[in-house]
Structure 1
Amino acid sequence: MILRGSAVYWFLFLLFRFVLRRDVRSMGVADLLFVVLVADAASNAMQGDYKSIGDGMVLVSTLAAWNYAMDWLAFRLAPVARFMEPPPEVVVRNGQPNHRLLVRQMMSLHELESKLRSLGVESLAQVRIARLESDGSLSVFTFDDKAHHGPSEGQPPAGGT
């Protein structure tokens, strides 16, 4: 059961880290449904034949242990931290949007402009540099040297649904 739990943990971690890079706070209804279905499928894959509460506790403990171990390692080792979290990416430089990044993140120019307005930036022309942070928030520095930072908790980050 520990091996099953470990295998599914790593499969899901790699899937969410490299294939589905969206932040949990930016989930739309379809994304939430996907996560629920993945959780159910993963549960079936991890459970195997277990029938007792003790088996369930072992399985949940295995997942929690992996989660704690990865957080601990990321805090102490820079290479692990880089592996765990994507680096910030420049989405606007000197008023010019990075169209490749927008396409890769499935973010329209309209969504980017809307997010900038919500941070108090009226137009792309005001942006010296804007970075899409690893947590999905947008950090913006304008030519007038004012820093505009991403959303506080509870607000959706930059990016689509």
Structure 2
Amino acid sequence: MGDWRQLLIPDTPLWEIALRGSVVYLTIFVLLRVLLKRESGSTGVTDLLVIVLIADAAQNAMADDYRSITDGMLLVAVIIGWAYLLDALSYRWPAVARLVNPGPLLLVRDGRILHRNMRRELITEDELFSQLRQHGVERLDQVKEVRMESQGQFSVITRSKAPRTGR
């Protein structure tokens, strides 16, 4: 059985743990938001980030990379705190919401590919056509618009078929 004091008394200053957790969280958040928007899939970037960092922080606490459980649990609390704070600020202020969850990006308008926006997110035409096929669209001229949503999914809106007149 280990020494209880070593297990429960932090050996790293609490402010350092909070600072390290904050810097790592915010850096990874910015990198994921800027560079990997389309790779995040249906799980939100903040959700994915929280899961990965909590797993690592908890693993460090359990594997004795930290000498006390308190070190690891404080880091977990800092990570959860940042996730909650960003969600709360996004809810309260639209400017923060746009930063945390940017709006959808238009990729196709009226059957025409917007190459500039495709380049911005590094989406190839093959990837676009793959998404169209997954949405049951065979030809580009069937598309009114395609948008890449803030979480990385593609929304496809097809042109409505004009109602037939006459009998």
Task: Tell me the TM-score normalised to structure 2 length.
Answer: 0.68
1:121 aligned residue: 137
CA distance in 2, matches of 1:144, 1:100: 26
Matching residue's letter, 2:117: L
Residue 132 of structure 1, aligned match among 145, 148, 154: 148
Tell me the percent identity.
Answer: 43
1:53 aligned to 69, 75, 84, which one? Answer: 69
Residue 86 of structure 1 corresponds to 102
For the pair 1:10 / 2:42, whether they are aligned, the reply is: no
Give the length in aligned residue pairs. Answer: 131
**Aligned residue type for 1:83:** L
Partners of 2:147 and 2:29 lie apart in 1 by 24
Q: CA deviation at 1:18?
A: 1.7
Moved more, 83-92 or 10-19: 10-19
Partner of 2:117: 101
Deviation at 1:78, TM superposition (A): 0.8
The one-letter code matched in structure 2 to 1:135 is Q
Name the CA distance, whole Å, in 2 between partners of 1:21 and 1:130: 16
Code of the aligned partner of 1:54: T
**2: distance between equivalents of 1:56 and 1:15?**
24
Q: Which residue of 2 aligns with 1:110?
A: 126
Amino acid in the other structure paired with 1:94? D
CA RMSD of aligned residues (A): 2.6
Q: Which amino acid aligns with 1:141?
A: I
CA contact (8 A) 2:108 2:143 kept: yes
Corresponding residue for residue 144 of structure 1: 160
TM-score using structure 1 length:
0.71
For residues 21-100 of structure 1, what are the structure 2 equivalents within 5 Å? 21-25=37-41, 50-100=66-116
Task: Tell me, in whole angstroms, the C-alpha distance in 2 between the residues paired with 1:19 and 1:118.
Answer: 24
Q: Kindly tell me: are residues 110 and 23 of structure 1, through their superposed partners in 2, closer, same or farther at Cα, counting changes over 3 Å? A: closer
3-state DSSP of counterpart to 1:6: helix
- SS of aligned partner of 1:141: strand
Deviation at 1:127, TM superposition (A): 0.8
Offset at 1:58? 0.4
Aligned counterparts of 1:71 and 1:23: Cα–Cα separation in 2 = 21
Contact 2:37 2:151 in 1 (8 A): no
Q: Structure 1: how far apart are the matches of 2:77 and 2:37? A: 26
